[in-house]
Each structure stands twice: as structure tokens, then as C-alpha cells.
Amino acid sequence: MAKTILVIDDSASLRQVVKMALTGAGYDVLEAGDGKAALALLDGRQVNMAVCDINMPVMNGIEFVKAAKQLPAYKFMPILMLTTESQDSKKEEGKAAGAKAWMVKPFSPTQLVSAVGKLCP
């Protein structure tokens, strides 16, 4: 059975780019436009991993990671931060929140699929 990845980004175009890369590698993809909408999808359904932007309206990526880690069913779900932010201080913030990896946009599909494969074997 294909693994399900939740993709969270306020840019619909970017979500589509990520979705194409992941579905091409055999993953199922769920989409959300911000952290709050993503949390609403974590309702008990099987989600193996999340790929999350940082700067989003309503609820940003760091807030989402912290909130997701409070949900018992998703506490151990690996989260990859996919963002234009590359400062070390931001990475530390993501790590402290509970993210498992950090990738800077623009990404190549090979790079993304490889990272997802490592975090969600």
C-alpha cells in the first residue's frame, strides 16, 4: 500500500509541484494550504509523513509542527520542513519544534524523493 504524505504550503502551485514529484515516486498525497487546515486532516487517518512550508497565513509551519507533536497518533510522524528560509537560527527553531529534516527551496524532485524515502522508509 502506498504511503501517504501530507503536503502543507500556502502556494497551490508549489503544492502541485511537490505532489507531482511525490506521486511520480509512488506516494499518495494529501494537501493543505496552512497549518490549521493540515491539523484538520490529522483526524485519525493514516498519514505517514508531512512536508511543510514555514511562512504561511493562519498557522505557520513551526506552529503546525508543535501542534502535530501534541497529537498522540501523530507524535512520531516525521516532518520535513520545505522552505525558502536557510538561516541556521530558523533551522534550530524547526529542530526544537520537532521537525526531522530541513530542505531549502527550490528543490529538485530527486532530492525531495530521496529525503522522503529516508524519513519514511
Please choose, out of 33-41, 43-51, 65-73, 105-113, the segment that lies near another protein by the rule CB under 8 A: 105-113
Alpha carbon distances (Å) from 4 to 18, 87, 89, 119: 13, 29, 30, 13
* Nearest distance, CB of residue 82 and another protein, angstroms: 10
| Interacting positions 58-77 with another protein (CB under 8 A) | none
Q: Which three cell numbers stand for residue 21?
A: 514529484
Confirm or reject binding of residue 118 to another protein (CB under 8 A).
Answer: yes
Q: Which is nearer to another protein, 30 or 44 (CB)?
A: 30
Q: Which is nearer to another protein, 55 or 70 (CB)?
A: 55
> 22: exposed, middle or buried (C-beta count within 10 Å: 0-12, 13-18, 19+)?
buried
Cβ neighbours of 87 (radius 10 Å): 8
Confirm or reject binding of residue 113 to another protein (CB under 8 A).
Answer: no
Q: Determine which residue in the list 1, 13, 40, 121 makes contact with another protein, applying CB under 8 A.
A: 13
Q: Which amino acid is at 90?
A: K
State how far the Cα of 47 lies from the Cα of 119, in Å rounded to an integer: 13
**Sites of contact with another protein (CB under 8 A):** 11, 13-14, 16-17, 20-21, 24, 54-55, 80, 83-87, 91, 94-95, 99-111, 114-115, 118-119
